[in-house]
Amino acid sequence: MNLAELQELHALPFFELLKRSHEVHEASFPAGKIQLCTLLSIKTGGCSEDCAYCTQSARYETDLKNERLLSKETVMESARAARENGSTRFCMGAAWRGVRGGTERFNQVVDIIKDVSSLGMEVCVTLGELGPDEAVTLKEAGVTAYNHNLDTSPEHYPNIVTSHTYEDRLRTIRNVQDAGMSVCCGGILGISETITDRLRLLEVISSFNPQPESVPINSLMPMPGTPLANNPQVDPFDLVRMIACARIAVPNAKVRLSAGRTRLSDETQALCFYAGANSIFYGDKLLTADNPEAGKDRELLAKLGLDTLEPNPSLEAPSIDRDLAASPCCSPKSCC
Ligand code: SAM
Ligand code: DTB
Ligand code: SF4
Protein backbone atom coordinates (compact mmCIF):
# COMPACT_ATOMS: atom_id res chain seq x y z
CA MET A 1 0.00 0.00 0.00
CA ASN A 2 1.30 3.44 -0.75
CA LEU A 3 1.40 6.39 1.61
CA ALA A 4 -1.65 8.13 0.12
CA GLU A 5 -3.75 4.96 0.54
CA LEU A 6 -2.55 4.53 4.10
CA GLN A 7 -3.28 8.16 4.92
CA GLU A 8 -6.79 7.78 3.58
CA LEU A 9 -7.30 4.68 5.74
CA HIS A 10 -5.84 6.26 8.84
CA ALA A 11 -8.12 9.29 8.48
CA LEU A 12 -11.31 7.18 8.46
CA PRO A 13 -13.68 7.52 11.39
CA PHE A 14 -12.36 5.21 14.12
CA PHE A 15 -15.13 2.61 13.90
CA GLU A 16 -15.10 2.55 10.09
CA LEU A 17 -11.35 1.79 10.19
CA LEU A 18 -11.91 -0.93 12.79
CA LYS A 19 -14.73 -2.47 10.77
CA ARG A 20 -12.48 -2.70 7.70
CA SER A 21 -9.46 -4.07 9.53
CA HIS A 22 -11.60 -6.62 11.36
CA GLU A 23 -12.98 -7.84 8.03
CA VAL A 24 -9.44 -8.25 6.66
CA HIS A 25 -8.44 -10.09 9.82
CA GLU A 26 -11.39 -12.48 9.59
CA ALA A 27 -10.56 -13.24 5.96
CA SER A 28 -6.94 -14.13 6.75
CA PHE A 29 -6.98 -15.82 10.15
CA PRO A 30 -9.12 -18.16 12.25
CA ALA A 31 -11.41 -16.11 14.46
CA GLY A 32 -10.45 -15.48 18.06
CA LYS A 33 -6.96 -17.03 18.08
CA ILE A 34 -3.96 -15.29 19.60
CA GLN A 35 -0.40 -16.56 19.31
CA LEU A 36 1.60 -16.62 22.54
CA CYS A 37 5.32 -15.94 22.13
CA THR A 38 7.99 -15.95 24.81
CA LEU A 39 10.97 -13.64 24.66
CA LEU A 40 14.35 -14.31 26.21
CA SER A 41 17.32 -11.98 26.23
CA ILE A 42 20.23 -14.35 25.66
CA LYS A 43 22.82 -11.55 25.70
CA THR A 44 21.87 -8.46 27.67
CA GLY A 45 23.31 -4.96 27.45
CA GLY A 46 26.60 -3.47 26.31
CA CYS A 47 25.45 -2.95 22.72
CA SER A 48 27.64 -0.75 20.50
CA GLU A 49 24.63 0.87 18.78
CA ASP A 50 22.97 4.14 19.80
CA CYS A 51 19.24 3.45 19.33
CA ALA A 52 17.74 6.30 21.36
CA TYR A 53 14.99 4.18 22.93
CA CYS A 54 17.13 1.26 24.04
CA THR A 55 18.37 0.58 27.53
CA GLN A 56 20.83 -1.98 26.17
CA SER A 57 22.94 0.57 24.33
CA ALA A 58 26.37 1.01 25.94
CA ARG A 59 26.19 4.73 25.05
CA TYR A 60 23.72 5.62 27.80
CA GLU A 61 23.97 5.49 31.57
CA THR A 62 21.18 3.18 32.58
CA ASP A 63 20.57 0.87 35.52
CA LEU A 64 20.91 -2.20 33.35
CA LYS A 65 23.52 -4.78 34.28
CA ASN A 66 25.42 -6.15 31.28
CA GLU A 67 25.50 -9.92 31.03
CA ARG A 68 27.39 -12.53 29.02
CA LEU A 69 25.74 -14.85 26.52
CA LEU A 70 23.56 -17.29 28.46
CA SER A 71 24.57 -20.93 28.51
CA LYS A 72 22.70 -23.41 26.36
CA GLU A 73 21.36 -25.12 29.49
CA THR A 74 19.86 -21.87 30.81
CA VAL A 75 18.25 -21.09 27.45
CA MET A 76 16.84 -24.61 27.14
CA GLU A 77 15.35 -24.37 30.62
CA SER A 78 13.50 -21.16 29.62
CA ALA A 79 12.45 -22.61 26.29
CA ARG A 80 10.98 -25.74 27.90
CA ALA A 81 9.15 -23.61 30.46
CA ALA A 82 7.78 -21.39 27.68
CA ARG A 83 6.44 -24.44 25.82
CA GLU A 84 4.87 -25.83 28.98
CA ASN A 85 3.15 -22.49 29.58
CA GLY A 86 1.56 -22.58 26.13
CA SER A 87 3.91 -20.45 24.03
CA THR A 88 4.23 -21.61 20.45
CA ARG A 89 7.03 -19.27 19.52
CA PHE A 90 10.30 -18.74 21.35
CA CYS A 91 12.19 -15.54 20.51
CA MET A 92 15.79 -15.02 21.54
CA GLY A 93 17.31 -11.54 21.45
CA ALA A 94 20.91 -10.42 21.69
CA ALA A 95 22.17 -6.87 22.22
CA TRP A 96 24.61 -6.92 19.35
CA ARG A 97 25.18 -4.78 16.30
CA GLY A 98 25.28 -8.03 14.38
CA VAL A 99 26.91 -11.42 14.06
CA ARG A 100 29.71 -12.75 11.88
CA GLY A 101 30.26 -16.36 10.81
CA GLY A 102 33.34 -18.10 12.22
CA THR A 103 33.26 -16.20 15.52
CA GLU A 104 32.91 -18.03 18.80
CA ARG A 105 29.71 -16.23 19.74
CA PHE A 106 28.04 -17.03 16.43
CA ASN A 107 28.94 -20.71 16.79
CA GLN A 108 27.56 -20.71 20.33
CA VAL A 109 24.26 -19.14 19.21
CA VAL A 110 23.94 -21.62 16.35
CA ASP A 111 24.46 -24.46 18.81
CA ILE A 112 21.73 -23.04 21.08
CA ILE A 113 19.31 -22.62 18.16
CA LYS A 114 19.80 -26.25 17.06
CA ASP A 115 18.66 -27.50 20.46
CA VAL A 116 15.79 -25.02 20.87
CA SER A 117 14.47 -25.91 17.44
CA SER A 118 14.05 -29.53 18.57
CA LEU A 119 11.29 -28.49 21.00
CA GLY A 120 8.51 -28.06 18.45
CA MET A 121 8.03 -24.30 18.76
CA GLU A 122 8.61 -21.66 16.11
CA VAL A 123 12.10 -20.28 16.69
CA CYS A 124 12.69 -16.57 16.23
CA VAL A 125 15.98 -14.78 16.79
CA THR A 126 17.06 -11.16 16.71
CA LEU A 127 20.82 -10.77 16.65
CA GLY A 128 21.25 -7.56 14.63
CA GLU A 129 22.92 -7.32 11.24
CA LEU A 130 23.39 -10.52 9.17
CA GLY A 131 25.27 -11.25 5.97
CA PRO A 132 24.00 -13.79 3.42
CA ASP A 133 26.14 -16.65 4.77
CA GLU A 134 25.14 -16.09 8.39
CA ALA A 135 21.50 -16.04 7.30
CA VAL A 136 21.84 -19.43 5.58
CA THR A 137 23.57 -20.89 8.66
CA LEU A 138 20.75 -19.68 10.92
CA LYS A 139 18.11 -21.12 8.59
CA GLU A 140 19.91 -24.47 8.55
CA ALA A 141 20.18 -24.44 12.34
CA GLY A 142 16.39 -24.26 12.58
CA VAL A 143 15.43 -20.58 12.77
CA THR A 144 11.87 -20.02 11.56
CA ALA A 145 11.78 -16.24 11.64
CA TYR A 146 14.29 -13.44 12.02
CA ASN A 147 13.23 -10.28 13.83
CA HIS A 148 14.76 -7.10 12.44
CA ASN A 149 12.64 -4.00 12.92
CA LEU A 150 12.78 -0.88 10.78
CA ASP A 151 11.14 0.87 13.73
CA THR A 152 10.04 4.04 11.90
CA SER A 153 10.18 5.86 8.55
CA PRO A 154 13.44 6.18 6.59
CA GLU A 155 13.18 9.95 7.16
CA HIS A 156 12.91 9.76 10.97
CA TYR A 157 15.35 6.86 11.46
CA PRO A 158 18.52 9.03 11.52
CA ASN A 159 17.00 11.05 14.39
CA ILE A 160 16.81 7.85 16.43
CA VAL A 161 19.85 5.84 15.37
CA THR A 162 23.11 7.11 13.90
CA SER A 163 25.38 4.08 14.31
CA HIS A 164 23.79 2.16 11.43
CA THR A 165 21.46 3.08 8.59
CA TYR A 166 18.02 2.16 7.32
CA GLU A 167 19.78 0.71 4.27
CA ASP A 168 21.81 -1.58 6.56
CA ARG A 169 18.55 -2.83 8.09
CA LEU A 170 17.02 -3.42 4.63
CA ARG A 171 20.11 -5.35 3.50
CA THR A 172 19.82 -7.72 6.45
CA ILE A 173 16.13 -8.24 5.73
CA ARG A 174 16.96 -9.11 2.11
CA ASN A 175 19.56 -11.64 3.31
CA VAL A 176 17.01 -13.20 5.67
CA GLN A 177 14.46 -13.51 2.85
CA ASP A 178 17.01 -14.97 0.44
CA ALA A 179 17.98 -17.60 3.00
CA GLY A 180 14.32 -18.68 3.21
CA MET A 181 13.58 -17.51 6.74
CA SER A 182 10.41 -15.62 7.56
CA VAL A 183 10.84 -11.96 8.34
CA CYS A 184 9.47 -10.40 11.50
CA CYS A 185 9.66 -6.65 10.98
CA GLY A 186 7.79 -3.88 12.70
CA GLY A 187 8.14 -0.66 14.55
CA ILE A 188 7.97 1.33 17.70
CA LEU A 189 5.52 4.12 18.48
CA GLY A 190 6.26 7.00 20.81
CA ILE A 191 9.76 7.87 19.59
CA SER A 192 8.91 11.45 18.61
CA GLU A 193 7.63 10.36 15.21
CA THR A 194 4.72 11.85 13.25
CA ILE A 195 1.71 9.93 11.99
CA THR A 196 3.29 10.20 8.52
CA ASP A 197 6.41 8.44 9.84
CA ARG A 198 4.24 5.59 11.14
CA LEU A 199 2.46 5.24 7.82
CA ARG A 200 5.71 5.47 5.84
CA LEU A 201 6.97 2.54 7.93
CA LEU A 202 3.90 0.56 6.89
CA GLU A 203 4.39 1.65 3.28
CA VAL A 204 7.93 0.26 3.30
CA ILE A 205 7.00 -2.95 5.14
CA SER A 206 4.00 -3.65 2.96
CA SER A 207 6.17 -3.34 -0.16
CA PHE A 208 8.50 -6.17 0.94
CA ASN A 209 8.55 -9.11 -1.42
CA PRO A 210 7.43 -11.32 0.23
CA GLN A 211 5.59 -9.37 2.89
CA PRO A 212 6.76 -10.15 6.44
CA GLU A 213 5.30 -13.10 8.29
CA SER A 214 4.92 -10.99 11.41
CA VAL A 215 4.76 -7.31 12.25
CA PRO A 216 5.47 -6.37 15.87
CA ILE A 217 4.05 -3.03 16.99
CA ASN A 218 5.91 -1.81 20.06
CA SER A 219 5.00 1.21 22.16
CA LEU A 220 7.96 2.95 23.76
CA MET A 221 8.72 1.86 27.29
CA PRO A 222 10.68 4.91 28.39
CA MET A 223 13.98 3.81 29.86
CA PRO A 224 15.70 6.03 32.43
CA GLY A 225 19.03 7.28 31.09
CA THR A 226 18.10 6.98 27.40
CA PRO A 227 17.46 10.09 25.27
CA LEU A 228 13.74 9.24 25.02
CA ALA A 229 13.24 8.65 28.74
CA ASN A 230 10.76 11.51 29.06
CA ASN A 231 8.69 10.93 25.94
CA PRO A 232 4.93 10.96 26.54
CA GLN A 233 2.82 7.82 26.28
CA VAL A 234 1.26 7.01 22.91
CA ASP A 235 -2.45 7.81 22.67
CA PRO A 236 -4.23 4.43 22.92
CA PHE A 237 -6.54 5.31 20.00
CA ASP A 238 -3.49 6.04 17.85
CA LEU A 239 -2.07 2.64 18.78
CA VAL A 240 -5.33 0.95 17.77
CA ARG A 241 -5.35 2.87 14.48
CA MET A 242 -1.78 1.73 13.78
CA ILE A 243 -2.70 -1.89 14.48
CA ALA A 244 -5.70 -1.58 12.15
CA CYS A 245 -3.59 -0.04 9.36
CA ALA A 246 -0.92 -2.74 9.80
CA ARG A 247 -3.59 -5.45 9.59
CA ILE A 248 -4.90 -4.03 6.31
CA ALA A 249 -1.47 -3.25 4.80
CA VAL A 250 0.02 -6.67 5.63
CA PRO A 251 -3.09 -8.88 5.69
CA ASN A 252 -1.41 -12.26 6.14
CA ALA A 253 1.07 -11.28 8.81
CA LYS A 254 0.65 -11.93 12.47
CA VAL A 255 0.38 -8.46 13.94
CA ARG A 256 2.04 -8.64 17.33
CA LEU A 257 0.96 -6.26 20.09
CA SER A 258 4.46 -6.05 21.54
CA ALA A 259 6.26 -3.85 24.07
CA GLY A 260 4.24 -1.45 26.17
CA ARG A 261 1.29 -3.61 27.21
CA THR A 262 1.94 -2.98 30.92
CA ARG A 263 0.68 0.57 30.32
CA LEU A 264 -2.41 -0.45 28.34
CA SER A 265 -5.83 -1.02 29.83
CA ASP A 266 -7.63 -4.29 29.16
CA GLU A 267 -10.09 -2.29 27.07
CA THR A 268 -7.35 -0.87 24.83
CA GLN A 269 -5.88 -4.33 24.35
CA ALA A 270 -9.33 -5.66 23.48
CA LEU A 271 -9.67 -2.97 20.80
CA CYS A 272 -6.22 -3.91 19.46
CA PHE A 273 -7.31 -7.57 19.14
CA TYR A 274 -10.51 -6.51 17.39
CA ALA A 275 -8.50 -4.30 15.03
CA GLY A 276 -6.32 -7.25 14.00
CA ALA A 277 -3.58 -7.89 16.55
CA ASN A 278 -3.26 -11.67 16.89
CA SER A 279 -0.05 -12.24 18.76
CA ILE A 280 1.48 -11.13 22.07
CA PHE A 281 4.62 -11.63 24.09
CA TYR A 282 3.62 -13.80 27.00
CA GLY A 283 5.49 -13.99 30.30
CA ASP A 284 6.49 -11.46 32.92
CA LYS A 285 9.47 -10.07 31.05
CA LEU A 286 10.26 -8.82 27.56
CA LEU A 287 14.02 -8.53 27.02
CA THR A 288 14.78 -6.23 29.94
CA ALA A 289 11.44 -4.51 30.47
CA ASP A 290 8.30 -5.67 32.24
CA ASN A 291 5.40 -7.39 30.52
CA PRO A 292 1.99 -8.19 32.06
CA GLU A 293 2.01 -11.25 34.33
CA ALA A 294 1.11 -14.44 32.50
CA GLY A 295 -1.88 -15.06 34.77
CA LYS A 296 -3.28 -11.61 34.02
CA ASP A 297 -2.98 -12.27 30.29
CA ARG A 298 -4.73 -15.63 30.63
CA GLU A 299 -7.54 -13.87 32.50
CA LEU A 300 -7.86 -11.22 29.81
CA LEU A 301 -7.95 -13.75 26.97
CA ALA A 302 -10.55 -15.79 28.85
CA LYS A 303 -12.66 -12.68 29.51
CA LEU A 304 -12.61 -11.89 25.80
CA GLY A 305 -13.30 -15.49 24.77
CA LEU A 306 -10.01 -15.61 22.86
CA ASP A 307 -8.20 -18.88 22.32
CA THR A 308 -4.51 -19.48 21.58
CA LEU A 309 -3.01 -20.33 18.22
CA GLU A 310 -1.57 -23.84 17.74
CA PRO A 311 2.17 -24.25 17.16
CA ASN A 312 3.45 -24.37 13.61
CA PRO A 313 7.14 -25.21 13.92
CA SER A 314 7.42 -26.13 10.25
CA LEU A 315 6.20 -22.65 9.31
CA GLU A 316 7.39 -21.96 5.79
CA ALA A 317 8.56 -18.49 4.82
CA PRO A 318 6.10 -16.71 2.50
CA SER A 319 7.32 -17.10 -1.08
CA ILE A 320 8.82 -14.31 -3.20
CA ASP A 321 6.52 -13.02 -5.96
CA ARG A 322 8.76 -13.53 -9.00
CA ASP A 323 6.49 -11.39 -11.19
CA LEU A 324 7.40 -8.30 -9.22
CA ALA A 325 10.57 -6.33 -9.93
CA ALA A 326 13.67 -7.94 -8.43
CA SER A 327 14.05 -5.11 -5.93
CA PRO A 328 15.80 -5.91 -2.63
CA CYS A 329 12.64 -5.76 -0.57
CA CYS A 330 10.94 -2.48 -1.31
CA SER A 331 10.79 -0.25 -4.33
CA PRO A 332 13.23 2.66 -4.14
CA LYS A 333 10.54 5.32 -4.39
CA SER A 334 8.67 4.05 -1.34
CA CYS A 335 11.80 3.68 0.69
CA CYS A 336 15.12 5.43 0.85
N1 SAM B 1 19.70 -5.75 18.68
C2 SAM B 1 18.67 -6.28 17.89
C3 SAM B 1 18.11 -5.26 16.93
O4 SAM B 1 18.33 -4.09 17.12
O5 SAM B 1 17.43 -5.67 16.00
C6 SAM B 1 17.53 -6.91 18.64
C7 SAM B 1 16.95 -6.37 19.87
S8 SAM B 1 16.04 -4.86 19.82
C9 SAM B 1 15.82 -4.71 21.53
C10 SAM B 1 14.46 -5.26 19.14
C11 SAM B 1 13.39 -4.20 19.12
O12 SAM B 1 12.88 -3.97 20.41
C13 SAM B 1 13.73 -2.81 18.63
O14 SAM B 1 13.83 -2.75 17.24
C15 SAM B 1 12.56 -1.99 19.15
O16 SAM B 1 11.50 -2.00 18.25
C17 SAM B 1 12.17 -2.76 20.41
N18 SAM B 1 12.51 -2.01 21.62
C19 SAM B 1 13.75 -1.84 22.15
N20 SAM B 1 13.71 -1.05 23.24
C21 SAM B 1 12.42 -0.70 23.41
C22 SAM B 1 11.74 0.12 24.36
N23 SAM B 1 12.37 0.77 25.32
N24 SAM B 1 10.40 0.24 24.25
C25 SAM B 1 9.74 -0.40 23.26
N26 SAM B 1 10.34 -1.18 22.33
C27 SAM B 1 11.65 -1.32 22.40
C1 DTB C 1 10.08 -6.65 19.06
O2 DTB C 1 9.63 -5.99 18.10
N3 DTB C 1 9.84 -6.36 20.33
C4 DTB C 1 10.56 -7.26 21.20
C5 DTB C 1 11.19 -8.28 20.21
N6 DTB C 1 10.86 -7.71 18.93
C7 DTB C 1 12.61 -8.61 20.30
C8 DTB C 1 11.52 -6.56 22.09
C9 DTB C 1 10.85 -5.54 22.98
C10 DTB C 1 11.88 -4.96 23.85
C11 DTB C 1 11.28 -4.04 24.87
C12 DTB C 1 12.31 -3.39 25.72
C13 DTB C 1 13.11 -4.30 26.60
O14 DTB C 1 12.63 -5.36 27.04
O15 DTB C 1 14.25 -3.91 26.89
FE1 SF4 D 1 21.54 -2.56 20.27
FE2 SF4 D 1 19.26 -3.53 19.23
FE3 SF4 D 1 19.25 -1.95 21.44
FE4 SF4 D 1 19.82 -0.90 19.06
S5 SF4 D 1 17.86 -1.84 19.65
S6 SF4 D 1 20.94 -0.53 20.99
S7 SF4 D 1 20.94 -2.57 18.09
S8 SF4 D 1 20.12 -3.97 21.28
Q: Give CATH superfamily name and number for 3-306.
A: Aldolase class I (3.20.20.70)
Q: Is 272 a catalytic residue?
A: no
131-169 pLDDT tens trace: 999 999 999 999 999 999 999 999 999 999 999 999 999
- Neighbouring C-beta atoms of residue 256, cutoff 10 Å: 26
**Sequence-distant (≥ 6) Cβ neighbours of residue 126 within 8 angstroms:** 91, 92, 93, 94, 146, 147, 148, 184
Q: Is 245 a catalytic residue?
A: no
Take atom 12 of ligand 2 and give the residue whose Cα is closest. 289
What mean pLDDT is predicted for residues 206-223? 97
| Pocket test residue of 54, 55, 96, 218 for ligand 2, highest count of atoms within 8 A of CB | 218
Single pTM value for the model: 0.94
Choice between 334 and 273, residue whose per-residue pLDDT is larger: 273
Q: Dihedral, CA atoms, 267, 243, 291, 41, nearest 10 degrees?
A: 170
12-61 pLDDT tens trace: 999 999 999 999 999 999 889 999 999 999 999 999 999 999 999 999 99
37, 54, 185, 330: the active-site residue: 54
* CA distances in angstroms from 127 to 54, 58, 124, 202, 205, listed in the order given: 15, 16, 10, 23, 20
Q: What residues does each domain of the chain span?
A: 3-306
Q: What secondary structure does DSSP assign to 200-235, as a single string?
A: HHHHHHHTSSSPPSEEEEEE----TTSTTTTPPPPP
β-bridge mates for residue 218, sequence order? 188
20, 89, 169, 184: the active-site residue: 184
Contact call for residues 175 and 132 (beta carbons, < 8 A) = yes
State whether the beta carbon of 57 lies less than 6 angstroms from ligand 3: yes
Would you state the pLDDT for residue 327? 44
Q: What secondary structure does DSSP assign to 260-313, as a single string?
A: TGGGS-HHHHHHHHHHTEEEEE-SSBSSSSB---HHHHHHHHHHTT-EEPPP-T
